[in-house]
Structure 1
Amino acid sequence: MVKVVEKTFMVVGEKNRGLFKKYAEAVLKAAQLFLNRESEIPFSSGIEVTVYEQPKQQNQLEGTFYVGVLVNEKVSDLPTGMEYIGKYQK
């Protein structure tokens, strides 16, 4: 039996693009570069995440992905080039 739970995730990350056939290398490289800047992110949990786009059509060559970390609180003052992804609930 599978247990389904609802959770709200808050992520601070960087948006990237890459070729689907080279996603593995592109995501790894982007994650390594991102982690060099993790200390700039307040409320970081230290848990790395990647959110990526699947191809919508067979002939789609490129996609968008985010590399980042989960944060424990909403970050209002983001480091340059980073985005907040999530729904903030009080």
Structure 2
Amino acid sequence: MAIDAATVRKVAHLARVAEPEDRLEALAQELNGILAWIEQLNEVDVQGVEPMTTAVEATQPLREDEVTAGGDPAKVLANAPKSADGFFVVPKVVE
């Protein structure tokens, strides 16, 4: 897939990025270089390699899933900007 100046102009417009007209061709060449590099990554043999989300093996510390009464409502609402009758008061967002 080759990117030309017209494509860069369109993407810049959609992204609301102002790029001078004389810079579009250089950006197109840079993006084509990046796409060529990505194509090289497709040549790497990844058979048998497990997908990973991080380079460091880590497990999430989990807590017991216990149902509680929520504690003391007065303490829960103490940090609320507004409360009424034991509930949080929030601005209306739906007409």
Pairwise TM-score range, normalised by the shorter structure: under 0.3
Structure (1/2) with the larger strand percentage: 1
Q: Normalized against structure 2, the TM-score is what?
A: 0.24
Q: Normalized against structure 1, the TM-score is what?
A: 0.25
Higher RCO (C-alpha under 8 Å, 6+ residues apart): 1
Structure number with greater Rg is 2
Structure (1/2) with the larger helix percentage: 2
